[in-house]
Amino acid sequence: MVELTLSTALGAIFTIFIVSRVLKYLDGLKRVSHWPGIRCLFIPFTLFGAVIPTTSWNPGVMLTWKKRFELYQQHGRDTISLVPYLDGRAEFYTANLDVIRQVVAGGVKSAWVKPEDGGTAVKEWGMNLFTTEREVWQRHRRIIGPAFNNSMYALVWEKAIGIYQHMSEHEGWSATNKLKLNPVQKYTSKFAFLVIAICGFGMDISWPDMSADSEDPTAFMSIPEALRVNTTPSISQLLPKWCRKFPIQFMRKLTLAQNLLAKYMQAQVDERREQVQTQIAMNEEGERDIFSLLVRATETNIMSPQNNKLTLTTSELIGNVFLLLFAGHETTAHTLAATFALLAAHPDIQEEIYAHIIDVVGPDRIPVLEDYHKLDKVLCAFYEAARMFPAVYVMLREATEDTKLVVPTSFGDETTTLAIPKGTRVIVDTIGLQYNPRYYPEPEKFIPSRWYGEDKADSITAFSFGPRNCIGRRFATTEAVAFLTMWLRDWKVEPLLDDGETVDQWCKRVLDARLFLTLGIKDAPIQLTRRRLE
């Protein structure tokens, strides 16, 4: 009798589960208006959907990269739906620019916002430009925007040149004509971190300060190392805080770095506020780094009857500085690494850019900021690398009310209007957009010339678009052009091959993506040959 009751109960539970999943699936189909697309067990950005690799039955988080050439072609349109049988809610994926503009346009009255769980990794330190919406976002933007000015870009250019020179000296590059870098990310990551730490945070650090990681997570940790640990994506940043108490080395290291950095940043806010208040009272110029400029803007506005609401709290100050450190470090480092790898794989394009550099700055002159706009071929190579390997590979938007979306019915111009229920998400597929032949002919090819011309360069989508486009775009391109110009003038970049490996095999191995919080090229081993023998 007990066995019968138990089996009956289990059968009832199983039946209820199946019925609930069927109802969920039918509701999902209704939510997306039965729009064509993928039917799967799990939505990619759920626990099981993310952990299980991308396969024929599980889209996974690598869906948009692994299927970048056929995902939308299979369905005859560049906006599709994903409806799960088990976990997650039905949503849309789009690589159509017109649809994307509808959901990322922003504005106080927009029906679309970033979902609350969309910025977990950068929200922990405080609300910031990335995590806020509507009126709060406008306040942050109005305060932060003025910090990104020509004076800042001059500082970025100066420091980028100096860091390259210091790197060459410290690494012993001046004493050799051949180098092997395995991988190049070791250098691009250090470079990008130093630029943002110096120009964004005002830290007095240099290339030798970026020492190797300590094996002992309880050992003394420097502030630069704590910053690096906190701004380098890792799975530990997505786990609940209670998980950080586990006696695991990388958890202990992250906790140590967070505790150290929290105390340091709070002390820095207090110290810089005192400095800024004194400078304002004495009518003196302040420091030029972004952190100091934000503190100064807040303190100045507090004393202004017209702008006393345009201020940032301590938490918001720290949150925005951390956001700039995080975004400015990883995204630039990834794109620089991709640029070097792609130029190594395309020596003809590299030679064209080298000749262009010599034509603009000559063989010996130190480039100056005024050269930036003349070095357009260097910039366009960086843009094309950003197109092919977009660090921000998706953007999430959620409807805050019942609304409508005008969607193409095919790859042509015919459209239809879909009713979008409140809570529905649209995933902006940046990879799909930047590999969409509608906008980029031969998207699989590395063609920097597609960006030649000011009007074309302004249309780059790797830095987002609309009112919420990346505020640090010019910051990133300034440091990239300075660094690439110095490097490519001094060195010819070639693939570093394994024994018996061909260049084509190297390209297949290296010109692929790895993905976590941001997307980046796989480890790229390269070799350098000095251009001008001493």
Report the distance separating Cα 13 and Cα 20, nearest Å. Answer: 10
DSSP 209-255: GSPPPPS-TTS---HHHHHHHHHS--GGGGS-GGGGGSS-HHHHHHH
Which of 287, 283, 304 has the alpha carbon at shortest distance from 295? 287
Report the distance separating Cα 440 and Cα 450, nearest Å. Answer: 8
Give residues with Cβ within 8 angstroms of 216, minimum separation 6.
Answer: none
Phi/psi zone of residue 371: left (φ > 0), alpha (ψ -120 to 50 degrees), beta?
A: alpha
Contact of 322 with 125, CB cutoff 8 Å = yes
Give residues with Cβ within 8 angstroms of 102, minimum separation 6.
Answer: 112, 405, 406
Would the annotation count 380 as a binding residue? Answer: no
Q: Evaluate the CA torsion angle 310, 314, 315, 318 in order and state its sign.
A: positive
Range 18-27 contact pairs with CB under 8 angstroms and sequence separation of 24 or more: 21/85, 21/86, 24/84, 24/85, 25/83, 25/84, 25/85, 27/90
DSSP state of 208: G
307-336: b (≥16 Cβ within 10 Å) or e = eeebbbeeebbbbbbbbbbbbbbbbbbbbb
Report the distance separating Cα 313 and Cα 298, nearest Å. Answer: 9
Residues at the binding site for heme are: 470
Residues at the binding site are: 470
